[in-house]
Amino acid sequence: MAVYQTTVSAPVNIACIKYWGKRDTKLILPTNSSLSVTLDQDHLRSTTTSRADPSFDKDRLWLNGKEESIEAGGRLSTCIVELKRLRAAVEAQNSAAPKLSTFPVYIASRNNFPTAAGLASSASGFAALVASLAALYELPATPSQLSVIARQGSGSACRSLFGGFVAWEMGSAPDGSDSLAIEVAPREHWPDIHALICVVSDDKKGTSSTSGMQRTVETSALLQHRIAQVVPARMDAIKDAILRRDFPAFARITMQDSNQFHAVALDTDPPIFYLNDVSRAIIAVITEYNRAAGAIKAAYTYDAGPNAVIYTPKENVKEIVELLLRYFPQSQPFPDPFGLDVNNEGKLPAGFNEKVAKAFPVASVKGFIHTRVGDGPRKLDASEALLGSDGLPTFLA
Amino acid sequence: MAVYQTTVSAPVNIACIKYWGKRDTKLILPTNSSLSVTLDQDHLRSTTTSRADPSFDKDRLWLNGKEESIEAGGRLSTCIVELKRLRAAVEAQNSAAPKLSTFPVYIASRNNFPTAAGLASSASGFAALVASLAALYELPATPSQLSVIARQGSGSACRSLFGGFVAWEMGSAPDGSDSLAIEVAPREHWPDIHALICVVSDDKKGTSSTSGMQRTVETSALLQHRIAQVVPARMDAIKDAILRRDFPAFARITMQDSNQFHAVALDTDPPIFYLNDVSRAIIAVITEYNRAAGAIKAAYTYDAGPNAVIYTPKENVKEIVELLLRYFPQSQPFPDPFGLDVNNEGKLPAGFNEKVAKAFPVASVKGFIHTRVGDGPRKLDASEALLGSDGLPTFLA
């Protein structure tokens, strides 16, 4: 008897132009377009195995070894139902196609980065879910078409269906059919872009992005101006910077938009703060790094939490890591997948004004992750499957 | 021989609608109107003695016992020259008036609060300077007319020429003649408004407001929207709230505008941060205090630094102090000029969710100052003069 099973991995993406606000909370239609860099799955990924089997009792899903309920009308269910509908259309056109759309599915998904890293896993997770079912169902759908489905799982997931530099065009159709991801440039266009994630300790649980962004939509007096005036111009400008591989322009817009996202969060009533004193100090250090260099050599960006992601051309990574280690000492040597010879004592670049921040205690930054721009979802070997021959997860928490 | 000398004190003011941005940096014309509460001079004040004497060699000024140079064309000089000009007009109308406008002046000024308290002293300082020379010169000028002069010393100084609730109307005349302070309501209209200043420790020197606000004018994509759309509506609404003594409305606008000021500071390139983790925690505590009470009983506001000022009706002060002492313990008992019987161990109000912030170490908040809405500049007795019989300061640093 045939086994219908596929395993896929999908990447994390970190936005340069931030998504913050929905115009339709059910369809997850955003109030503005956004743009991100896809990070390399060699380092950070969600892996998902999907299996369709007529003997299964119902659709089931395990996330990191723990079963999650699939509620009717919920985000998981919406994605699965939509993909089954597309499969049914395939079957309607080709009577030889097995009737997978009628079989329940078991889905196991896992992130290779700990929840404690504070990286949003919903983007890579929903992208892997959608890509895995689309592969299982052999859907004749483009990544952009699949992104419309992933978007309904988690907005920013739509951007994880492409590698490289990805725009989420907000669209205007009421049904959301034109609110989708497009590739601005593949990673091969600008493979030199590296990312350094600084995992920042935080005492308090921040406001969730889902509830936070709607509070901003309802109460910020500045958000509408950002949506109508600022973001459209920045989207054009950053796409142009990417196409020209103009790092200073790319970096400047990235930093400005991170700051503006946090500004509208602060302009919310009551205000939302995601940046803490460590986040602020990283901003001060990168700002001074660029000033001392006389050129914009690095860009910081922050999502809905205190972690920094620093984009920089590969040649600057060593210098930046050593600079950050000076302010944010670590108990362990810097773990580098690229084999950089890092001075773990830290080091200041020439002309750098040390006084822009104080040195923080060990573990104020819990760790660093060095990665780079990456590719889109990958279909993996059966050997990497997360479901065993019995159709159940090989790993349970 | 006659001695021409007067001593005046002037109050501190703390804005509810923030001044941030100049449209004319020389005349100090703001990009938006602002509104403040004048604090009680019984607690916080600048005192200035001015003396005109034909035997003096030149104009001189001592601030907190240290001589400051009066540079031609500088802010101090602009105020003194302008006041002498008005005095000359008086003399031109009345030939019996002594020719004080032709005498050099000695000016001694002192703040009764330490610089380390982090309270801007330029507002009360320039207001005291202008009020003191105006009294010395017996100028037939209204506080609003004098505010035009004080504004050229330090923008927000214009608001310290009135007690109570004071608007600085931005005006539109190119010469600044209609950019002046007006009294929205005297303190007697709403004497119940108290203020609790939380002096917050900070590791780093923040960006000066003079340079910071111009960077915001030049680089923030959100400021123009704030100026054109948000502030005019808020000015109307908060004046109305004051006239109706509607504390919840007053408080909500105050908090929103503090947040928006810090939002446009963050939207500046590079970003400006004045709030630190302690400031953020005070915001979280006041937000939860209002939520738990089911009513807005207190408002926080922050100027260009980490210190909080909390406005609240007098009846809530004890409860708020005890709440803050729970999170920000002090090594000394709470010093209260109003004789509140404060529990120095701290105490949570009913229904308050303790988890909204962590307890900070002693001295994270360096101290509290409890004051209230106050009156405008006061003419003081000769016994309080800061210049001795020889015309020189009685105190030198």
- Give A72 to chain B, closest Cα distance, Å: 34
Identify whether the C-beta of residue A357 lies closer than 8 Å to the C-beta of residue A284: yes
* Residue A29 binned pLDDT confidence (cut-offs 50, 70, 90): very high
Q: A219 to chain B nearest CA, in Å?
A: 10
In the predicted model, what is the mean pLDDT of residues B110-132?
89
Average pLDDT, chain B: 96
pLDDT tier at A201, thresholds 50, 70, 90: confident
Q: Is the pLDDT of residue A397 over 90?
A: no
- The mean pLDDT of A298-315, rounded to a whole number, is 97
Tell me the average pLDDT across A34-57. 97
Residue B202 binned pLDDT confidence (cut-offs 50, 70, 90)? confident
Rounded mean pLDDT, A325-348: 93
Least confident segment among A13-22, A258-267, B269-278, B328-337: B328-337
Class of domain A193-372: alpha beta
Our CA-based measurement puts residue A270 at a distance from the nearest CA of chain B, in whole angstroms, of 7
| B279–chain A Cβ distance below 8 A for any pair | no
Q: How confident is the model at residue A76 (pLDDT cuts 50, 70, 90)?
A: very high
pLDDT at A382: 95
Q: Do A280 and B283 touch (CB under 8 A)?
A: no
Q: What residue in B sits closest to A202 (Cα-Cα)?
A: B277
Q: What is the CATH number of domain B4-190?
A: 3.30.230.10
Contact criterion met (CB < 8 Å) for B263 and A266:
yes
Q: pLDDT tens digits, residue range A166-194?
A: 999 999 999 999 999 999 999 999 999 99
Q: Annotate chain B with three-state secondary structure.
A: CCCEEEEEEEECEEEEECCCCEEECCCCEECCCEEEEEECCCCCEEEEEEEECCCCCCCEEEECCEEECCCCCCHHHHHHHHHHHHHHHHHHHCCCCCCHHHCCEEEEEEECCCHHHCCCCHHHHHHHHHHHHHHHCCCCCCHHHHHHHHHHHCHHHHHHHCCCEEEEECCCCCCCCCCEEEEEECHHHCCCEEEEEEEECCCCCCCCHHHHHHHHHHHCCCHHHHHHHHHHHHHHHHHHHHHCCCHHHHHHHHHHHHHHHHHHHHCCCCCCCCCCHHHHHHHHHHHHHHHHHCCCCCEEEECCCCCEEEEEEHHHHHHHHHHHHHHCCCCCCCCCCCCCCCCCCCCCCCCCCHHHCCCCCCCCEEEEEEEEECCCCEEECHHHCCECCCCCECCCC
Using CB atoms, which residue from A221, A270, A287 is nearest to B230?
Answer: A221
What pLDDT, on a 0 to 100 scale, did the predictor assign at position B182?
98
CB contact under 8 A, A268 and B259: yes
| pLDDT over threshold 80, residue B118 | no
Q: Which residues of B touch A203 (CB under 8 A)?
A: 358
Where exactly are the structural domains of chain A?
4-190+379-384, 193-372
* Percentage of chain B lying above the pLDDT 90 cut: 93
> Of residues A324 and A396, which shows the higher confidence score?
A324
Residue A118 confidence class, pLDDT cut points 50, 70, 90: confident
Q: What pLDDT does residue B114 have?
A: 78
| pLDDT at A103 exceeding the cut of 80 | yes
pLDDT at A115 over 80: no
Side by side, the strands of the sheet bearing A180-185 are A13-17, A34-38, A165-169, A180-185
Q: Find, in chain B, the residue whose alpha carbon is nearest to that of A254.
A: B269
pLDDT of B201 > 90? The answer is: no
Residue, of B254 and B336, whose pLDDT is higher: B254
B383 has a pLDDT exceeding 80: yes
Cβ–Cβ below 8 Å for A273 and B267: no
Domain A4-190+379-384 has CATH 3.30.230.10: yes
Residue B287 in this model has a pLDDT that exceeds 80: yes
Residue A312: pLDDT over 80 = yes
Q: What value does the mean pLDDT take over residues A363-374?
A: 96
Q: Does B79 touch chain A (CB under 8 A)?
A: no
pLDDT of residue A260: 98
On the question of pLDDT at A43 being above 90, the answer is yes
Task: At B146, list the tokens.
Answer: 């004098």
Q: What is the mean pLDDT of residues A196-201?
A: 94
Q: Is A116 on the interface with B (CB under 8 A)?
A: no
State the pLDDT at residue A387.
Answer: 97
Q: How sure is the predictor about A338, in pLDDT bands with cuts at 50, 70 and 90?
A: very high
* pLDDT (0 to 100) of residue A206: 79
